[in-house]
Every structure is written in structure tokens, then in C-alpha cells.
Amino acid sequence: MSKLFEEKTIKTEGIFQGKIIKVRVDTVLLPNGNTATREVVEHPGAVAIAAVNERNEVIFVRQFRKPVEETLLELPAGKLDPGEEPLTCAQRELEEETGYRAKEWKHLFSFHTSPGFSDEILHLMLAEGLETGEAHPDGEEFLEIVWVPLEKARQMIFEGEIKDAKTIIGILALDYLVRENAR
């Protein structure tokens, strides 16, 4: 990777610490010698789970999201606890949010959710061999479990019914794996 475009941090100032995120302002030296400021949201990382049954139906959660003032259809997901491995987080979140456990897990890939302002990395996990358990969302989560055939979920993306980025990425990845017979 070329260092031609790298910025060197000169100064960092923490300006906010919440329960989930921190915000800092970095003063950076640009490749041309000028300086600039960058606002950065620090996030501990997260997982999203593409959980699919033997009929190629995907489990979703429907929940209200305050920042966008909408109820969204999303893949089960959650943030990593300090020092937690993505697989452990994914197993916990799938059961907490949906009541399901999976016999088979595969880490598909990881991606930056919004690298223009956040360091969050999201790990996309495939879960198969689903078994019913008991959902126990935390006290601030109000979720509805929804099963959608994969083909329909793909259509819902292009019809604007699924708007969440991690869910769109997860569904398109799962659709690719099914089409390529690569699951």
C-alpha cells in the first residue's frame, strides 16, 4: 500500500465518551505539508449475522432506529465487548436477539462501515444449522423476528425495503454464496 496519501497525526483531543462510542478530533499533517482536522468516531467493532435455514430463509430483526427515525429490517448484530472474539459475540447476539443458536459458523469477511469518520469494523458471520433457543434481548431492545426467503430479501433491497448497510452487504454476500454454491 502506498504511503503517498497517508496523513500523520500531530495531535489528538478526546471530546466525547459515551456508552458505545468515543469522539476525538485529530490534527493531521497532510501529504502536501498542510494541516487539517479530522473528526473520528471510535467504535469497539461489531458483528452481523447472516443466519439462514435449510429452506434458504434468512432471519431478520425489525427494530426502531432513533438516528434515522425509522423501523428497519436488519440482520441480527451487536457490538463487541472489550477483548471479545467476533465468533463469541455473534453466538451471543444471535441467541439474545432471536432465540436461535447455530451449529455451523463461518466468518465471511470484515469491512469498515463508514471509514470517512469512524474506525468501526464489522465482521460478517454466516450461521447455519439453526436450533431454537430462547431470545433474551436487553432491556432497551424491542425486536420482532422476521423470516424472509433469500430471494425475496434480495428483491427487498432493490425495492428500498431494506435500507441498513450491513444488512444489504450481508444479504448480497449470502446471495452470491448460494448462487456460486460456495456455502
Q: How confident is the model at residue 133 (pLDDT cuts 50, 70, 90)?
A: confident
Please count the other Cβ atoms lying within 10 Å of the Cβ belonging to residue 55: 8
Instruction: Note whether 147 and 60 are within 8 A (CB).
Output: yes
Residue 52's SS3 state is strand
Mean pLDDT of 107-127: 98
Q: How confident is the model at residue 141 (pLDDT cuts 50, 70, 90)?
A: confident
Q: Could you give the residue ranges of the DSSP H alpha helices within 34-180? A: 86-98, 150-158, 165-179
pLDDT at site 1: 56
Q: Which of 34, 40, 63, 59 shows the shortest CA–CA distance to 48?
A: 59
Please count the other Cβ atoms lying within 10 Å of the Cβ belonging to residue 174: 23
Cα 54 to Cα 5, 28, 57, 177, 178, distances in angstroms: 46, 51, 7, 14, 12
pLDDT at site 69: 98
pLDDT at site 183: 76
What amino acid positions are annotated as catalytic residues? Answer: 140
Give this prediction's pTM. Answer: 0.92
